[in-house]
Every structure is written in C-alpha cells, then in structure tokens.
C-alpha cells in the first residue's frame, strides 16, 4: 500500500506527465488545439461507442455551451469535423479529413512516446503499462461512483 508521501509523488508525476503530453500535442498542432480536440473526440468514441455531443463536450470540459460551439467553428470550416443535429442534440463527428489529420499527428506522437519508452527495459515497460492501466481503471471507476453518471476522465 502507498502512503501519503507516495501518493504525493505520483500526483506530481501525473501532473508533469499531463503537462508534457499537452505541450507535445500543442507542438504537433502548431499551437492550435486541433490535435487535442480531434484526439479527445476519437478517444471518447472508442470508450463509449458513440459520437460525443456538444453538451457532453461542455460538461466534460467545463466550458459554457456557447464557448464550445464557438471553438468548434474553425474545425468545421476546415472540414475536420461536422455537426449532426438529431432533435435538440448535436453530435460532433470527425470527418475523413479530420481522421487523416489526426492519424498524421498521432504517428508523430507515437514516435515521441516510443522514444521515451525506449528508456525502459522490457520488464519496466510491461510493469509500467500494466500499472498505468490499473491506476486509470481505478480512478475512472471511483469517479463514476462519485459523480452521478459521469463516466471516465
């Protein structure tokens, strides 16, 4: 079991890792949030099996609904996403052009991550991957149980 000092150490590592990933994604996007948004939309679809709605983006990000809509406009104008209205619900869907742009950036991200992971031995990599998945599963599970219907991080 981990004590509070151990938890503090891991929190610091997670925060630094999150910051490094954000900086890497911004670098790959040329300072724009395109890669971050498209990657998040794709990850949401993989996790839930459905397209994310503008309302869900607002809820998850903490941004007001009009701000989310305004942030999506440039992506839609570039043909990277489209919005599909179904009654009062508006889903955000990544287009083929968006998927191609995301895959291009994802390949670059994989190269960065692969280079970083090469610092680990095979045993360290296996332990890291397994432990990371367990921690993420536990965090998501605890959040689902405490946030009235929100799922995952």
- Please give the structure tokens belonging to residue 32: 């724009």
* pLDDT at res. 146: 60
Bigger pLDDT: 123 or 107? 123
Q: Which residues contact 48 (CB under 8 A, 6 or more apart)?
A: 151
pLDDT at 108 over 80: yes
pLDDT, mean of residues 101-113: 87
φ, ψ at 55 (rounded to 5°): -60, -40
pLDDT, mean of residues 98-109: 87
Domains in the chain, please, with CATH? 4-119 (1.10.10.10)
pLDDT, mean of residues 4-8: 83
The answer to whether the beta carbons of residues 24 and 109 sit under 8 Å apart is: yes
Task: List pLDDT tens digits, range 11-25.
Answer: 888 888 888 887 877
**What gap in Å lies between CA 93 and CA 10, rounded to an integer?**
35
Task: List pLDDT tens digits, range 56-83.
Answer: 888 777 778 888 888 899 999 999 999 9
What share of the chain in percent tops pLDDT 70?
89
What share of the chain in percent tops pLDDT 90?
27
Are β-strands 81-86 and 52-53 bridged in parallel, bridged antiparallel, or unpaired?
unpaired
Q: Which pTM value belongs to this model?
A: 0.64
Task: List pLDDT tens digits, range 114-129.
Answer: 999 999 999 999 999 9
């Amino acid at each position: 079991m981990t004590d509070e000092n151990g938890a503090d150490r891991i929190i610091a590592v997670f925060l630094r890792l999150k910051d490094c990933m954000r900086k890497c994604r911004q670098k790959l996007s040329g300072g724009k949030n395109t890669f971050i948004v498209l990657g998040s939309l794709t990850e949401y679809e993989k996790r839930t099996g459905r397209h994310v709605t503008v309302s869900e983006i607002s809820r998850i990000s903490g941004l007001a609904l009009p701000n989310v809509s305004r942030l999506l406009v440039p992506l839609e104008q570039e043909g990277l996403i489209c919005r599909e209205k179904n009654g009062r619900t508006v889903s955000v869907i990544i287009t083929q052009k968006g998927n191609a742009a995301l895959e291009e950036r994802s390949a670059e991200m994989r190269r960065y991550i692969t280079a970083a992971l090469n610092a680990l031995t095979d045993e360290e990599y296996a332990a890291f991957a397994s432990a990371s998945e367990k921690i993420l599963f536990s965090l998501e599970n605890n959040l689902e149980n405490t946030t009235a219907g929100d799922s995952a991080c």
